[in-house]
Amino acid sequence: MDASQYTGTGDFLKAIELNGQTVTATIESVDVVSFDQEGKSDSKLVLKLAGKEKRVVLNKTNTRNIITGLDGVADTDKWAGVSITIAPNQTQMGLGLSINVASDKPFNDDIPGF
């Protein structure tokens, strides 16, 4: 049985949906979204990607990765048009997303359902 069908679909990209592949995408916009977890509200940056249905929630590490990749540009209004890579990454918390400013390496940008 394929358990991935029980991971749920939603508005936000999950690492398992990348099927082990790295993708490139272009940031269209950045919003702040509040998430309620265990009775606590937590605000996170969320990327809207050009031509993609799902949005990407940034954790602190991935936010730092983007700022560093943009030579310290922390103003999210200036992130539109920037190409990023998104890859599944094993973390202490489980399977997560690793996000970085794209280099000149070729990547797959056509993941079904993303």
How many Å separate Cα 10 from the centre of its chain?
Answer: 14
Q: What pTM was estimated for this model as a whole? A: 0.79
Interval 56-105: pLDDT, tens: 999 999 999 999 999 899 999 999 999 999 999 888 878 888 888 886 54
Q: Which of 83, 80, 85 is nearest to 108 (CA)?
A: 85
User: What are the structure tokens assigned to 100, written together?
Assistant: 């970085």
- pLDDT at 112 (0 to 100): 58
Torsion, Cα 9 66 107 95, to 10 degrees, reads -40
> Which domains does the chain carry?
13-101 (2.40.50)
Give the model confidence (pLDDT) of 18-37 as tens digits: 999 999 999 999 999 998 87
Would you say how long the chain is, in residues? 114
**C-alpha neighbours within 13 Å on the C-beta side of residue 53:** 10
